[in-house]
Amino acid sequence: MDSDALPIKQRPSLNWTVGVGLILAALGLYVSTLAPTVLEADAGEFQFVPWLPGIAHPTGYPLYILLGWLWTHLLPVGEVAWRMNLLSALFAALAVGLTYAIAQNLLDTTLPDTPVPARVIAAALAAATLAVTHTFWSQAIIAEVYTLHTLLVAGILWIALRHRRNQKDKPTKWSGKLLAFAFGLGLTHHITTILLSPALLLFLWVTQPPSERKIVDFRKVKSFIMCGLISLIPLLLYLYLPLVAPLTPYTSLSLSDTQTLTLYNNSVQGFFRHISGTVFAGELRPAAIGMERFILTWQLLRQQVGWVGAIVAISGVITLWQQQASLLLLTGGAFLAFTAFNLTYFIGDVFVLFIPVWLIVCLWLGVGSLGLAHWIAKNFVRSKMGANEYVAFERVRERLSQNMYLVATIFLSVLFFLLPIVLLTTRISQVDQKNNTAASQRWQKILTEPIPKSAVLLSNDRNEIMPMWYYQYVKGSRPDLLGLFPLIVPDPNFSNVGRVLDQALASKRPVYLIKPIDGLGLKARIQPEGTLFRATPYNTPPTYPTSVTLPQIIIPSSSGTEKTETITLLGYDLSPNEIEPGDDITLTLHWQTTQKLSIDYTSYVHLITGDGQGITQSDHRPGGDSYPSNYWQIGEILRDRHTLSIPTDVPAGVYQLRVGMYYQPQPGVIKGMGNGIEIGQLKLRVVGT
């Protein structure tokens, strides 16, 4: 049977039918698992910024914001948050359809002798697998930038392949310019698009006719410059940022008459810092790459396509290497560039930046599935025909095995479709967001409480504040409230939640925590009030003043030298000071820092006998993870509360209270600020007296 089992004139209509079918199927899947309302984190931000339109966090994403503005204002269906979630689903579904087109191009070029139906199935396999990979699917059902990024990366790859075909079949001056424009559009949306450039340039150079393959060809300089200028045209969209900044309500926030928070600096320097993402530059750490990063990459790969998918993708790499090395140069170069960058980039959600990698893996998977199906079917036919009758495989096909080979190849190609089916059924419970209304319910409840006007609502997590901003800027709910979180601005006074609390209290506004935050009781009195927690400054001195400085502790520094650290105990509060066995006591230590501490210390309170025998104790890290001692500021006073439970078998008498600080330089080793200090006595009464 001829490899072109379907007439040439029917193939475009078949490809369009399959491609559109994949788009609609993917869109249906995403809509059925779509988040229905407002979300936390970046998704929450991207649900209100396009509506305004405003300025998103670096690098600004102007293409996405402008498309989102058009989408949310032209689609009068559902709430704004849902519309932005739906936009991600639409971008994702289009990316799935484009993945089918890319895979079809790769297969037509790499395995042209295979049956057309098998190539269609293998291309559909690549697209369907991408559609249900864990990370891509998870981003397709929330308001995020990564499905548009995937669509643009896929578009660049597809145009590059079409440009290669045009060079061979019907040269046109427009395909190269279209590729340059698409590349610039990708850069306008996500800066990591630049990682495609080495593979693209090398691919375009290698696929030129040998006579034109020169390192320097002055005849093409004009064309190269023109394409470079065309790629810069979409970057003009970044000018949206300074134009819209004066109209964006949160570029500058007033905390008090003397405290202004500038979230976007509308200057030339601020503009370039924003679009280049310099705030994240510290997360690029090539020297920190270790085996754990490669293990993470492998684990993420298995999460997307499993062991079977990874093996089939590897077979696709081998097939490309054997049949069309230039296509491996393009896809493999892009794979290596994105992977290398992600290995060196240590942000917490780096997994989303791997999506272009999984796109390429899925393309390889499509090629690999057809390559394996072709190889297995070929050998199956050979075995059925018998070794003595075999002369050449093409003759076997021509004489006796046309239908057998066709059926075997198509059957095996269909069999590979079990992979996306398994991925679909095993991943859906992990990514499904259709019942995710937690952020909406939480913030609607908070914003209906009788919170004083102009209050500050504080969290240690930026992600939790984004739904509040959505309700303020989209719904107009309580615009007088101010949400604060660490690193809201690049200022040391907002570097951690403890210092943010200081700034909030200094503003004289009412201050509330939106949840209990371990450790902030060191700095302020925290009391429940409705679903929130009111924070008020401490204003009372210790009941029992002491003003004792703990002995100095020697700390080795990274430079090889040593330094000393100490801290002062201003006094303490004790309640009660006379107890019975089985009771609890609360001892609050008033620490004051006289120098910047570099260690996360543990404080302790021990109840001991006159000869030093321990009765009970309390050891903990004052400030916990939110405000540990290495965050404390020079001169501030911190109230460190300990609770001790008195054993029921302790005899009556007078016992000593010993307090101190220590740290553990390594497991099992304790290094203290001296042996602690005895600050007072506790009288234990006989039960009933």
pLDDT tens digits, 158-210 = 999 988 776 555 545 677 889 999 999 999 999 999 999 999 999 988 877 66
Work out the average pLDDT over 335-347.
Answer: 94
Mean pLDDT is highest, among 159-163, 357-361, 629-633, for 357-361
pLDDT tens digits, 264-304 = 999 999 999 999 988 888 888 988 888 999 999 999 999 99
Q: Which helix (H) or strand (E) holds 379?
A: helix 355-385
User: Cα–Cα distance between 98 and 91 in angstroms, integer?
Assistant: 10
Work out the average pLDDT over 58-73.
Answer: 96
297 phi/psi in degrees, rounded to 5: -60, -45
User: Cα–Cα distance between 148 and 89 in angstroms, integer?
Assistant: 10
What pLDDT does 274 receive?
93
pLDDT band for position 688 (50/70/90)?
Answer: low
What pLDDT does 462 receive?
95
As a dihedral over the C-alpha atoms of residue 344, residue 350, residue 355, residue 361, rounded to 10 degrees, the angle is 50
What pLDDT does 6 receive?
47
User: Cα–Cα distance between 146 and 152 in angstroms, integer?
Assistant: 10
Mean pLDDT is highest, among 136-150, 278-292, 561-575, for 136-150
Contact 183, 193 (CB under 8 A): yes
User: Does 386 have pLDDT greater than 70?
Assistant: no
Q: Where are the alpha helices (DSSP H) in 11-145?
A: 11-32, 41-48, 62-74, 80-110, 116-132, 134-140
CB atoms within 10 A of CB 210: 7
What pLDDT does 654 receive?
87
Work out the average pLDDT over 44-62.
Answer: 95
Report the DSSP beta bridge partners of residue 568. Answer: 549, 592
Burial classification of residue 590, based on how many CB atoms lie within 10 Å of its CB (0-12 exposed, 13-18 middle, 19 or more buried): buried
Q: pLDDT above 70 covers what percent of the chain?
A: 90
What pLDDT does 2 receive?
41
CATH number of 544-684: 2.70.50.60
CA distance readout (Å), 16 to 11, 189, 362 = 9, 28, 20
pLDDT band for position 563 (50/70/90)?
Answer: confident
Single pTM value for the model: 0.88
The tokens describing 21, both together, are 């079918």
**Mean model confidence pLDDT for the chain:** 88
The structure tokens 């078998």 sit at 649
Burial classification of residue 668, based on how many CB atoms lie within 10 Å of its CB (0-12 exposed, 13-18 middle, 19 or more buried): exposed
666 DSSP assignment: E
User: Does 547 have pLDDT greater than 50?
Assistant: yes
Which of helix, strand or coil describes residue 18?
A: helix
CA distance readout (Å), 641 to 443, 471, 521, 583, 663 = 31, 37, 8, 17, 18
User: Cα–Cα distance between 53 and 69 in angstroms, integer?
Assistant: 6
The tokens describing 156, both together, are 């660049």
pLDDT band for position 669 (50/70/90)?
Answer: confident
What pLDDT does 243 receive?
95
Work out the average pLDDT over 420-443.
Answer: 95
User: Does 401 have pLDDT greater than 60?
Assistant: no
CA distance readout (Å), 639 to 270, 500, 503, 514, 571 = 40, 18, 18, 21, 10
pLDDT tens digits, 223-244 = 778 888 888 999 999 999 999 9
User: Does 400 have pLDDT greater than 60?
Assistant: no
Crossing angle of helices 41-48 and 462-473, in 10° steps, is 20
The tokens describing 427, both together, are 């991943």
Contact 264, 243 (CB under 8 A): no
User: Does 77 have pLDDT greater than 50?
Assistant: yes
What pLDDT does 143 receive?
97
Report the DSSP beta bridge partners of residue 606. Answer: 617, 658
User: Cα–Cα distance between 377 and 396 in angstroms, integer?
Assistant: 12
Contact 496, 486 (CB under 8 A): yes
pLDDT band for position 57 (50/70/90)?
Answer: very high
Higher local confidence (pLDDT), 442 or 170: 442
Residue of 518, 508, 545, 511 lying closest to 637 (CA atoms): 545
pLDDT tens digits, 445-479 = 999 999 999 999 999 999 999 999 999 999 999 99
User: Cα–Cα distance between 512 and 396 in angstroms, integer?
Assistant: 80
pLDDT tens digits, 477-503 = 999 999 999 999 989 999 999 999 999
What pLDDT does 204 receive?
86
pLDDT tens digits, 569-622 = 999 999 887 788 888 889 999 999 988 998 899 999 999 888 888 889 999 999
What pLDDT does 390 receive?
43
CA distance readout (Å), 436 to 143, 386, 431 = 13, 60, 11
User: Does 398 have pLDDT greater than 70?
Assistant: no
User: Cα–Cα distance between 351 and 362 in angstroms, integer?
Assistant: 16
Q: For every residue of 405-468, which 3-state class applies, written as one string?
A: HHHHHHHHHHHCCHHHHHHHHHHHHHHCCCCCCHHHHHHHHHHCCCCCCCCEEECCCHHHHHHH
